[in-house]
Every structure is written in C-alpha cells, then in structure tokens.
Structure 1
Amino acid sequence: MTILRNPPRRGFCADEFALRVQRMQSILRAEELDAVFVTSPSNIRYFTGFDSQFWESPTRPWFVVVPREGAIIAVIPEIGAPEMARTWVNDIRTWPAPCPEDDGVSLLADTLSAVPRRFGRVGAEMGREMALRMPVSDFLDLGTRMPEMKIVDGTPALWQARMIKTEAEIDHIRFICEVASDAYIGLPDLISIGDTERTAVKRLRADMCARGADSVPFMPAISGPGGVAQIVCGPQDRVLTQGDVLFIDTGATYDGYFCDFDRVYAVGSIDDAACRANEAVWQATELGIQAARPGATMESVWKVMATALQDAGSIGNNVGRLGHGLGMQLTEPPSFREGEETIIQPGMILTIEPGMEYAPGKMIVHEEDVVITEDGAHLLTIRAPREMPVIS
C-alpha cells in the first residue's frame, strides 16, 4: 500500500518573497549594482511565485526587475498579466506580445533606465548555470537603448541569494526527497528480472507521482553486468538480466523544487567485485556527509571522497564532480570538485555524489541530498541501504 506523506503548503506567503528580495537587494548594494533583471523561469518564480506551463513556448520573453531599492517590477506579455496579478507583485507592465519587432525591449529599457541610479550597472543572467531566455539580438539591442547603464554579469549576485535556502524552501525539498525515497524503497516490488529499463522507469515515475510528486522530468536509468558505463542517458529497452546492476537517478519536483539522488539495485546476485565497489562508494558517501560542515570548502569535501575512492581502487569517474547544489534547478552551484573554494554555509542544500569506475565500463555511483545546518549535514533523503536492494 502506498503511504502518502503530508506535503507542505503550496506556494509561499508575501513575507517569504519580501525576505528573498531584501536579501537580493542587500547583495546588489554590496556588488554595486542598481538592479538585476531575470528572464529564466526559475529566477522569475523565485522572486514572484509566478509559474506557468506556458514556459514550454519560446515565443514570448518574460522579465522581472529587482531594483537596488523599492518594489520589484514584472515586465511581461499581456497574456500573463491576470496570473501575475495573483502573486504578491503590484507593479506589472505589459506589452502585446508576440511582437518580434519590439518584444518588450523598449519597455524593459524604459523600466531599467528609471530605477534609482547610483552605480550605473545592471546585472543579467550571463554566467554560470544560468541562461538568458530572450533573443541574443534583443539583449544586445537592450544595451544600445541604455547608454547610461552598463549591463554586467549578475549571476554571482543571483547565486549568492539563491544558494542559501529559507526554511520554507527546505521543507519543500525535504518532502520531495522523502517521496522519492519511499518510491525507491518500493521499486523491487514493482519490477522483476525480465522487465526492461523502460518499464522500471515508467512504474517508478508513476509511483512517485501517486505519492505526491508533481512531475518527474529527470529519470535516467541504465543497467549493465556489474555496473554501468554512464549515468546520464536512458532508459532503453534493455532487459534486466541476472548479474546486472540497475542505476536510476531521479529529479522529481514538488511545487517548483527538485530532489536529485540515485539508487542502485542488484538484479539477482552480483559478483564480488561489484559488491566491493558498492561498499567503497557507500563508505565514501558517509565520509562526504560527515565532512560537509559549515566553514569547510567544497574542494575539501571533494578531496575526502576522492581520496577514499582512489584508495578503494577507482580507475576513473566520468561525472567530473562528486556532488552539487540543489533547489529550483536539478543542479545548482556550487560543485564538489577540485578548485571549488566556495565555503559551505548553513542553509545550503547539497548532493553528496561519489562514484567510481572500478573496471572498464563498470561504474557505481551513490547520491544523497543533505541540508547544511550549524552542526553539520543532515539527510533529506532516506539513506540508501549499505547493500544493494535486490530485484528478483
């Protein structure tokens, strides 16, 4: 029987959004920016609460301006005004989109030019793990319409704000992590030897949605004898066979927030080498959770896990990092990697994701989601069992 957990209240109160804007404005002042404007669904939703399935249409651009002081401003197509008016945003400016000859560019330029000016600099989503959701030609045109303002990369300021989650955000992510954990635990009852990777994903995805997930946009599944060669593609119609390892990663959402963690299963019995590799990766995960404490650098935690994997006989890891940030995007900064000097702080939500290739084409990866508190990392997921669950 499927046990349903009690979800947190959908949406956020006006005070929550005011807190986010206040934090952003404090950062803007420190970074000497008069405003930042955002175009991507996650950033627009972060500051306003506005969401729409219409994001699937690339026809119309959408903009939200967060000034250094004062209220935020939505500069959006007319079609979105009624729903934006249901949010906490009061200043809503529209144009009759789509209008390719001027799709909000002049209106956005006028809006940015009118914000209180001190530094003559406006930030935009130009950098790490962000993207402009507007035509590049329009973005370049925007700069010519505001000769008194310089458009610069606002990404560091945006991530500085979003990297630390509020208690309400943490509650959302905790819920979806628990939903996905419950479904992972129940998967061996839903599939058996002889089913395909694709069947496993269909049943697991349906179970997660039945338990309370809004959607499961990310679910690669890969299987292979003793391990897998990669972790980002699939599923295929490959039949699960005695001796396989089945890897499934999941990015399920609740009210705009992701979980991101994997589980590995033994299909029947697996050989001793795969068991030893699984034990090594499980232990590296434990070490990563213990090391992820406030004040540590992301690189220092990476080194703890990487050293353990190397000592266990790892011959490689094509993932390129051993975990990352998590929130309204499946992956967010920072990354557990060499050279990443970001300081871990309370309120961060991170994935602990060690993996090792123990033989050519045979890789084992584990992943858990944690929230950083004053006294260390606390699991949001239900910890994977030390030995692989068996599909029979």
Structure 2
Amino acid sequence: MPETTGFDRNPLPERLCNLERLWHALEARGLDGIVATQPNNVFYLTGFNPIAHKSDEPRPYAVILSRHAPDHPVLVVADYYLASFLGQPSWVEDIRPYRAVMMPLDLPAKRTDIDRFIPAHGRGVEWVERARASYGFGMADLVRKAIGDLGLAGRRIAFDDVGYGLRLGLDGSQAVDGYDPMMFARAVKTPAEIALLERSTALNEAAICRTVAAWAPGATWRDLNRAYAVAVSELGGFVHDPGGMVWGHPRGADAALMLQTGLETHEVTEGCHVMFDCHGTIDQYCWDGGKTWVVGGVPGVQARKFADATAAVATDLLDAMRPGARVSELQARARSVYRKAGAPDPDAAVIFFHGLGLSHMDLEQTTADGKPNADWTLEAGMVVPFHLLYPGGEHERMWLEEVVHVGPDGGRPLFSWGFDPLTG
C-alpha cells in the first residue's frame, strides 16, 4: 500500500472554531445568534464532517448558537448521521436527530426508528441517550424548537443560508445574512487549525515532488494532472473535479494568463516551466500553491533573472506580512522589490493575496460597519498565501506561491522547500 506516514486521518480536536471572534462578530452587527447549515461552517463549528452529501442537496443538518446561551450549542442532524459522533467527538453535547430520507414513507413514523442507527457501543452513552430522547420527525420543527430553547425567538438571527432562514417562517424573528460574521471568525485560525493547514501544505508539497518524479519524455499535461491526482490520493488527500492543478500553460512565447480546463493534451516538453498551483483538501482544510518546475533542466539566463527577482520579493514579503499590513501596501512593496531586482517590467508582475482555511477566502466581504473589505488588513493568526507570477513564455515565466502564517514578527512559510524553482 502507498506510504501515507504523516497524513493518516485521526479524530480531530473536539473544537476547532474561534468562538470568541464569532461572538464579537455577532455583537458588532447586533445579532443575537446564528444558524449555520453550509457544510464548511457546520464542520467549523462542530467538527461534523459528513460523508455522501453533495453541495446542492438540501442540508440535512443545522447548528444553532446563541449569544444568550454561549455554552449550549444545538446540532440538528439526520438520524443516519448520529453515530458519526461516536468516532469524531464534538464540543456540542446537545445533538438532536430527526427522521430522515432513509426511513420509509409507507410505514408510520415511530420514536424507536432512531434505534436503527445506534450501534451497540453507543447504547447507554449519555449524550446518545439524550439524542435518542429528543428524536423528532422533521428538521424544521427541531430547528425552530432549538431557536426557542436558546432564547432566539423574536430576535435578529444570522443564517449562513438566508433562504433557509426565510423558509423556516420564524414569526417575529429577523433573518439576516450570516456570511460575513462567519468569515470574520474563520479568518484568524486556532492552533488546531494551524496544525491542519501545516499538514495539508506538507501533503501538497509531497504530491508535487512525486509528480515531478513521475514525469518522462512524451508525457502530456493530462498525464501530469493524473500523476498529481494519484499522488494526492496515495498520500490520503483529495482533489476536486476537474482537477487539482490550476494554471494553464500557453505554448511558445505566449505570456497570457490562463487557467487549466482539464482538457489539455499537448506534451510537457523538456525545458518547459510548469507552474504548480495546486488545490485540494484533507480533513476539509485546504492546501494551495506550489512553485515553478523547469522540466528536465535548469532556468535559462533570462529565466534565472526572473527566478532570483521572485525569490527576493518572497523573502521581503515574509518580513512585511505583519499584523496591520494592508494588501495594497504589500503589493506596492513587492513591485518595488521586483524593480530593484532588475525585473524589466515590474508592472506586469501578478501579485495577490487571499485567506486560506476551509476555503480559499476565509475573509469577510463587508465589515461590521458596512464597508467593503477589498483592501483588507492582516491579523496575527491568519494564514495568507502570497502569489507571485512574473509572466513570460514557456521557458521564462516564473511562479511562486507560499502559504504564510502571519505572526507579530512577520510571516512563517508553511512550505519547506524554499523559493528557488524545482529543477531536473
């Protein structure tokens, strides 16, 4: 079997989320609580990572949190998911299952139906018995009851899916968009999240190195994409349709910026510069990034200048990525370093930043005072990839994306391989 040492999946900590930031975000927006039904948010708040559910299906789960009962979250789940919490414990102790799609419509509903989903080792467990006693026959009814139990009836409630909030028909309550308070909380990572992001980045680095080693003359871009996907799977991670590699690679002198479609079949020739920007997840936490690989060789004279300039920018950015720095300031600083390093057209360089965690954003779009958050500010504890692309033809372009943990004294890179391109 493939070697997966270091990437084996084990039960996660009972709590991953930054609750203090969530309470702050809700209070700053005049919100009394939040109901989350989006998969990433439910996982973030509870540790619940359900299998078999697809993104556009009706959500068979909801977590309800109230500022007025901060120590008493409630999680409503389909009955067939109840036993999941025996393997992955959660800090949420009030779990309320409901009769869901696996139960027959041609037979009368019974309160003992839940027993079908409780394994022998779960019987007699205190929280399981409480869940068994709260078994209901509809998700909406249980969510409405939880809202009342937590003192949220008639109040302003955030929903990460406002449509779900409106469909609940809560008399006297106001359903408000909960996207931004959730993203504000997710922007600054807890120590448990940092550990998961370190692991996901290490898996990506290992998968890229395996992909490089798998190349042979005659290989196509499709072969390279498949090699990366196989390496990720062997290591225990996941890529998503249509693939894990992001950048497209125009041929010849074409310096256009393109993304892959997954349909590319031309050959990956010796001397070509492959820009590894790879996405995937393990335990739902994303990895991102990579760097340039010079296929079967080393950079030429002009490409070496671009590589050295890009490495100089990356080194400077690590020092500059401190709490309080704005994205526009970092972009201007990076461009000035390109200029000092002798890059012939520093304005052509592509320099951008985003948050990273359960998504490739993890940033509020609108602040609590209603202002757009486009030129956002770094905070200690954020994980922020920087992206540096000096465009050029297939033998010159230079790409580097580093994943950075922001601290009071600057950024800490999560990749271990430095800033020089991969060669050979």
Range into which the TM-score falls when normalised by the shorter chain: 0.7 to 0.9
Alignment partner of 1:171 is 2:174? no
Alignment partner of 1:329 is 2:354? no
CA distance in 1, matches of 2:19, 2:56: 27
CA distance in 1, matches of 2:84, 2:176: 30
Give yes or no for contact 1:41–1:55 (8 Å, CA) kept in 2.
no
When residues 213 and 298 of structure 1 are mapped into structure 2, their CA distance, relative to the original with a 3 A threshold, is: farther
- Aligned partner letter, 1:91: D
The match for 1:128 is: none
Among 371, 381, 385, which residue is 1:351 paired with? 385
Alignment partner of 1:121 is 2:147? no
When residues 305 and 5 of structure 1 are mapped into structure 2, their CA distance, relative to the original with a 3 A threshold, is: farther
When residues 55 and 202 of structure 1 are mapped into structure 2, their CA distance, relative to the original with a 3 A threshold, is: same
Alignment partner of 1:371 is 2:405? yes
> Which of the pair has more CA radius of gyration?
2
When residues 124 and 309 of structure 1 are mapped into structure 2, their CA distance, relative to the original with a 3 A threshold, is: farther
The match for 1:199 is: 223
When residues 7 and 390 of structure 1 are mapped into structure 2, their CA distance, relative to the original with a 3 A threshold, is: closer
Q: CA RMSD in A?
A: 3.4
Name the structure where strand makes up a greater proportion of residues: 1
CA distance in 1, matches of 2:22, 2:332: 32
- CA shift digits 1:7-56 (9 cap, x unpaired): 58733333x35x64454334433432111111111111111111122222
- Aligned partner letter, 2:10: R
- CA shift digits 1:175-218 (9 cap, x unpaired): 221232233334432203321112122223323343x3422333
The match for 1:141 is: 167
Alignment partner of 1:66 is 2:96? no
TM-score, normalised to structure 1, is 0.80
Give yes or no for contact 2:153–2:173 (8 Å, CA) kept in 1.
no
- Aligned partner letter, 2:228: L
Structure 1 counterpart SS, 2:53:
helix
When residues 191 and 53 of structure 1 are mapped into structure 2, their CA distance, relative to the original with a 3 A threshold, is: same
Shift of 1:103: 7.1
Among 312, 322, 336, which residue is 1:283 paired with? 312
Give yes or no for contact 2:153–2:172 (8 Å, CA) kept in 1.
no
- CA shift digits 1:82-105 (9 cap, x unpaired): 324653232223433359xx9734
Structure 1 counterpart SS, 2:278:
strand
- Aligned partner letter, 1:305: A
CA distance in 2, matches of 1:364, 1:352: 14
TM-score, normalised to structure 2, is 0.75
When residues 120 and 84 of structure 1 are mapped into structure 2, their CA distance, relative to the original with a 3 A threshold, is: same
5+ residue gaps, structure 1:
126-131
Alignment partner of 1:12 is 2:12? yes
When residues 104 and 341 of structure 1 are mapped into structure 2, their CA distance, relative to the original with a 3 A threshold, is: same
- Aligned partner letter, 2:12: F
Structure 1 counterpart SS, 2:57:
coil
When residues 181 and 294 of structure 1 are mapped into structure 2, their CA distance, relative to the original with a 3 A threshold, is: same
When residues 53 and 310 of structure 1 are mapped into structure 2, their CA distance, relative to the original with a 3 A threshold, is: farther
CA distance in 1, matches of 2:278, 2:219: 19
Structure 1 counterpart SS, 2:310:
helix
CA distance in 2, matches of 1:243, 1:343: 39
- Aligned partner letter, 1:380: L
Give yes or no for contact 2:147–2:153 (8 Å, CA) kept in 1.
no
CA distance in 1, matches of 2:148, 2:334: 49
The match for 1:216 is: 239
Shift of 1:226: 5.8
Report the more deviating stretch, 350-359 or 267-276.
267-276
Alignment of 1:85-100 (within 5 A): 87-88=89-90, 89-98=92-101
- Aligned partner letter, 1:52: P
Shift of 1:151: 1.4
CA distance in 2, matches of 1:33, 1:251: 34
- CA shift digits 1:233-272 (9 cap, x unpaired): 2442110124422122212323221221122122355654
Give yes or no for contact 1:299–1:340 (8 Å, CA) kept in 2.
no
- CA shift digits 1:95-122 (9 cap, x unpaired): 33359xx973444334324432499211
When residues 103 and 275 of structure 1 are mapped into structure 2, their CA distance, relative to the original with a 3 A threshold, is: farther
CA distance in 2, matches of 1:260, 1:44: 22
CA distance in 1, matches of 2:319, 2:187: 20
The match for 1:129 is: none
Give yes or no for contact 2:9–2:283 (8 Å, CA) kept in 1.
no
> Identity of counterpart residues, as a percentage?
20
Shift of 1:384: 4.2
Alignment partner of 1:264 is 2:292? yes
The match for 1:183 is: 207
CA distance in 2, matches of 1:251, 1:230: 18
- Aligned partner letter, 1:49: G
Count of residue correspondences: 369
